[in-house]
Structure 1
Amino acid sequence: MSLPQPDANDPRNSTGGGIYVPANEGLQRWFSGDVYSVKLTAADTNGSIGIVQASVPPGGGPIPHTHVDQDETFYLLNGELEFLDGDRTFLARTGDLVHIPRQMRHRFLNVGFHTAQLLFLYTPGGSEGLFVDGGDEPRPGVQVEAWGPERFQTQGMQDLYVKYGVET
């Protein structure tokens, strides 16, 4: 028995369309004391998904918020994070996955002793743009600085919340 051969005239077999992002690449940003590497944006994926890799130091994590138009899924690569989901909290550890539907209030907090690593997946993509537009350029050899509450209350940040459908 022989396998069917692909049709050389079919563009699905001859035109590449995948996206490859090597492990140490992606747009790097500091945001609220965390380090984010934006791996895929809505613009990269025709709006279907946005993916961010995060390094969250002990005590780090975002303020409680919702996303108007995106679901957010977290996959914990290592560490432990306390998640808020609506009115409940729970501890997620290495290998755990957390899915937060759009418009559900949530946050995470690194309650461990070591930096946690996780992936955020936004579906559809879009909210990752907040880190791209609102984050700080990282500086090699310098520790990321935590933001005070005044940073989140600036008009510029408030405008970005509206642009990216984030409500605090």
Structure 2
Amino acid sequence: MKTGVGEIVTFGRGRQSLERSVWYSGWLLTFLANGEDTRGQFALMEQVTRKGNVPPRHIHHREDETFYVVEGEMTLSVGDKTIKAMAGTMVFAPRDVAHSFTIDSEQVRILVMVAPAGAEGFFQECSVPAPSMTLPPPAETPYSEIQKMMALAPTYGFEFVPPKQ
């Protein structure tokens, strides 16, 4: 029987944690909490990128995804709804609903939570350790990396969908 006693869990040094940070397709990602930290309940990532770095429209079949804009502006589309999100805006993208976004400001810093955890593994597999807590140099994602992402997507319950007509 539960006694109502809570548990305090801490997750290292957060944003300053280079050992938990990766460069992923033009993004600096820091894993603030992963499934191992949260008993699989959720993963929380800080993601930073610049204008023009836009993921394709996609669906998560296993988890809900929540975006919280810390700095900058972006436009998020979830299903048939689109919102201009500025610092302080939170957007919920439920599982099985297509979503995408564009970066409107020169740079954006967002917190992304997926629940349950698991999707963070995709980003870990498709990235390289960040050598510093800075954005990677601007560059096109190589076709070989795109092929790798497409091949890994089903493993993590992701589906890339064509753009809306």
TM superposition score normalised by structure 1: 0.80
Q: 1:81 aligns with which of 47, 69, 74?
A: 74
Count of aligned pairs: 154
**Max radius of gyration: which structure?**
1
1:32 pairs with 25, 33, 48, which one?
25
- How far apart, in 1, do the equivalents of 2:96 and 2:142 lie? 22
Contact 2:76 2:100 in 1 (8 A): yes
Is the 1:83–1:92 contact (alpha carbons within 8 Å) kept by the matching residues of 2? Answer: yes
Which whole-Å CA distance do the structure 1 matches of 2:30 and 2:62 have between them? 22
- Which 5+ residue runs of structure 1 have no aligned equivalent? 1-9
Other-structure match for 1:124: 116
Identity %: 26
Q: Which runs of 4+ in 1 moved over 3 A?
A: 139-149
Q: Distance in 2 between matches of 1:95 and 1:110?
A: 15
| Cα distance, 1:152 vs structure 2 | 5.1
How far did 1:46 drift?
1.3
Matched, 1:21 2:12: yes
Residue of structure 2 equivalent to 1:56:
49
Tell me, yes or no, if the aligned pair for 2:22 and 2:29 is still in contact at 8 Å.
Answer: yes
Distance 2:142 2:80 in 1: 22
* Structure 2 segments unaligned to the other structure (5+ residues): 161-165
Aligned Cα RMSD in Å? 2.3
Comparing 139-148 with 68-77, greater Cα deviation is found at 139-148
Q: How does 1:97-116 map to 2 (within 5 A)?
A: 97-112=90-105, 114-116=106-108
2:123 maps to 1:167: no
